Amino acid sequence: MILLIDGFNLIYKFPDLEEKMLRGFLDEARSGLLERLKEFQKIKKSQIRIVFDGKKNPSRNVRSEKIGTIDVYYSLDYSADYLIKEFIKKDPNPKMSTVITSDKDILFYVNRFSARTMTSEKFADFVTKTIEEHHEESAPEKENDPVVTQEEVSFWERIFSRKGKKQQQPATSRASGRKI
């Protein structure tokens, strides 16, 4: 399955990234979104294409790049909306694509090609939930209030008291067998 994402539309659905955008940290917000999507992609094994409006940076005309295994596109002189529509229009099997946006015009257009859709709000929640659940599953289990038995305490006391006795013995030279 291919996820085709309206990049800036999605950025604003994550509060921490929205804050960066509002403070004028475009590159940090975009990088934060891409890192989050890379983590999501490792879990869900989806092919991701993300389209951002405009240029990557004002001095260079980068049309596309790969960030990990994510295909990133910059619209340059077009809008991201236009590129998303073109991707769907030229897709030989648009039913296998899911377009992630809350832009009603894009949603209406891609529905004509039977592409799947999901709003950016729902997708942001899905990404967050997926990553959180993955972290919970991979975290080692901890007991809330572990109980140590007297037998376990005695075992560790014996281990540590032996270690202390071994360290107190004088060292011997291997060659002569004499104490040093």
Tens-digit pLDDT profile for residues 12-68: 999 999 999 999 999 999 999 999 999 999 999 999 999 998 777 666 677 888 989
pTM (two decimals): 0.74
Instruction: Name residue 61's amino acid.
Output: N
pLDDT, one tens digit per residue, over 90-127 is 999 999 999 999 999 999 999 999 999 999 999 999 99
pLDDT at 174: 54
Quote the tokens at residue 24.
Answer: 């004028």
CB count in 10 Å sphere of residue 168? 6
Query: What single string gives the DSSP state of each residue in 95-135?
Result: GGEEEE---HHHHHHHHTTT-EEE-HHHHHHHHHHHHHHHH
> Which of 175, 39, 50, 156 shows the shortest CA–CA distance to 101?
50
CATH fold group of domain 2-138: Rossmann fold (3.40.50)
Each domain of the chain, given as residue ranges in start order, spans: 2-138
